[in-house]
Amino acid sequence: AQSVSQHNHHVILSEAASLELGCNYSYGGTVNLFWYVQYPGQHLQLLLKYFSGDPLVKGIKGFEAEFIKSKFSFNLRKPSVQWSDTAEYFCAVNVYNQGGKLIFGQGTELSVKP
Amino acid sequence: GAVVSQHPSRVICKSGTSVKIECRSLDFQATTMFWYRQFPKQSLMLMATSNEGSKATYEQGVEKDKFLINHASLTLSTLTVTSAHPEDSSFYICSALRTGNTEAFFGQGTRLTVV
């Protein structure tokens, strides 16, 4: 069965620090990859997605992610975090041709200290 | 565009009663909708895939007689938690797949508390 693993359960950073959240998936076929953010008390929002093409994907709010097929990874990065980035971050995988069904990682809680 | 609305956002019910949660795609048609469950500090677990006009497909371990799903139109899917118990207390989230698209859009979730 497909699975998604996020390496960090809770990350604490100071403002202006750089961020990298790891995500690995297990599936040998074609996948679509997503990062979602969930701010406290709010619903999931899409940060960025990768379907095909350039493996370096830029999303909203200065986030980017790089798809490395050989490593089955899709790590999320931001050069300089802000206090407002405090949230839960979820990596998700959609197996191609399984019509929007998402498999989520366990999530990473990011706390940014002002 | 691509707004998905869930109702109610919060509900408290007594043990043994049933609760219906609605998921609507407001500005697009959704042939397929998904229902997820999220426990505190945990990830979203897919419960079932809801297809308009046909029976839902449930994930392994999800009781289909307890979690009734109806997708009667291209803009509405409902999840009914029947004979709710305290262990059913959770955050339920739906997503809708725009017809012909591969990106799903999420509702704001429903916090269910069974007392």
Q: What is the dihedral of CA B67, A43, A29, B33, to 10 degrees?
A: 40
CB nearest to A104's CB, from B41, B44, B109: B44
The pLDDT of residue A71 is 94
Pick from B8, B7, B5: which is nearest to B27 by CA?
B5
User: Are A102 and B108 in contact (CB < 8 Å)?
Assistant: no
Which of A26-62 are b and which e, b meaning 16 or more Cβ less than 10 Å from the residue's Cβ?
eeeeebbbbbbbbeeeebbebbbbbeeeeeebebeee
Mean pLDDT over A37-57 rounds to 90
Q: How many residues does chain B have?
A: 115
Q: Per residue in A98-108, pLDDT tens?
A: 667 889 999 99
The pLDDT of residue B9 is 93
The chain-wide mean pLDDT, for chain A, equals 92
- Which chain A residue has its CA at the smallest distance from B30's CA? A100
The residue among A50, A89, A101 with the most chain B CBs within 10 A of its CB, best to mutate, is A101
d(CA A49, CA A60): 10
**Chain B residues with CB-CB distance to A107 below 8 A:** 41-43
The pLDDT of residue A31 is 87
Q: Write phi, then psi, for A24 (nearest 5 degrees).
A: -130, 145
Q: Per residue in A53-92, pLDDT tens?
A: 999 999 999 999 999 999 999 999 999 999 999 999 999 9
Strands B110-114 and B10-13: parallel
Residues of chain B below pLDDT 70: 1
SS3 for B106? strand
The pLDDT of residue B1 is 64
**Chain B residues with CB-CB distance to A32 below 8 A:** 102
- Which chain B residue has its CA at the smallest distance from A43's CA? B108
